[in-house]
Amino acid sequence: MQKLLEKLIASNFAELEGLRITGTIPVKQELMNEVLAEALKGALAPPAVAGDSVAAGTAATDSAAAGPRLEPSDLLKLITRAEITAHEGEIRLQFEIRR
């Protein structure tokens, strides 16, 4: 599976030409609050110091162990339509992906 992901990412998903996905993801308010809190925590975290060997070693180990990294920006390139609605404590993300 890892090699397949690497191939898809490296080719900018060219093998999926003609793909069309339409879906809805219901997200509870509590989960969205957790996601926002994590995003803010990451955005507000101090940047790693270039000479910090502990931080650099940890980052290198983490990225090597994780394998191919699918960045959100890779998926955002494929989204052709998105709509967010909220009702009674639930947020719905409706989207369409085409390749």
Q: What percent of the chain has pLDDT over 70?
A: 73
Residue-level pLDDT at 82: 83
Q: Indicate the burial class of 78 (C-beta count within 10 angstroms; 0-12, 13-18, 19 or more).
A: middle
Distance of CA 8 to the CA centre of its chain: 15
**pLDDT greater at residue 56 or residue 99:** 99
Number of domains observed in the structure of the chain: 1
Domain holding 70, by residue range, is: 6-98
**1 within some domain:** no
- Is the pTM here over 0.85, yes or no? no
pLDDT exceeds cutoff 60 at 25? yes
Give the alpha-carbon dihedral of 41, 29, 66, 64, to 10 degrees. Answer: -10
